[in-house]
Amino acid sequence: MTVFDASVKLYSWFSENDHFCLSDTKIVLGDSSTDAKASAKCALKKLEELGIIHYAQVESDEYWVLAKKMNDVNQEVSLDGQLCLSVSKIINTYREVLGVQEEKCDPSSIKSKDITNLVLICFHLLDNQDEQ
């Protein structure tokens, strides 16, 4: 398992749980091998360096605890003009198909709600794909 794979699984874990114990490796990663634990520890170190979690050892157990809820963890993203235009076109076209006129996406000012809408569109399309 790569550190990236472990990071994705741990990020998902922390979206629903406020702590992780190394003994939970099999539950979270599906594997409790030494390699999986090493990947988990590398991923946890990265999350700790980002200030998302804090480490604590209690007796013989190793814990990583959320510094704050995952919904309160923000990331800054830089988008070029062409990508902003594409995001806007997708969202606005989808809204036109649904007959929704409010909350149009402005390509000159992409907001968090626009990315949320884009994710919702993707989930909707994936759900439709699963039904076929």
**C-alpha–C-alpha distance, residues 96 and 103, integer Å:** 11
Query: 0.75 cut: is pTM over it?
Result: no
Answer yes or no: do 9 and 62 share one domain.
Answer: yes
Tens-place pLDDT, residues 33-47? 899 999 999 999 999
Answer yes or no: do 28 and 61 share one domain.
Answer: yes
- What is the pLDDT at residue 115? 94
Three-state SS annotation for 39-92:
HHHHHHHHHHHCCCEEEEEECCEEEEEECCCHHHCCCCCCCCHHHHHHHHHHHH
Q: Which residue has the tokens 């990583």?
A: 64
CATH number at residue 60: 1.10.10.580
Average pLDDT, rounded, for the chain: 91
**C-alpha–C-alpha distance, residues 117 and 84, integer Å:** 13
What is the residue range of 16's domain?
Answer: 3-72
Answer yes or no: do 58 and 97 share one domain.
Answer: no
Which residues sit opposite 21 in a β-bridge?
A: 63
More confident: 128 or 12: 12
- What is the pLDDT at residue 73? 86
pLDDT of 101 above 90: no
Q: Which residue has the tokens 């794909």?
A: 129
- What is the pLDDT at residue 130? 67
- What is the pLDDT at residue 31? 87
The number of folded domains in the chain is: 2
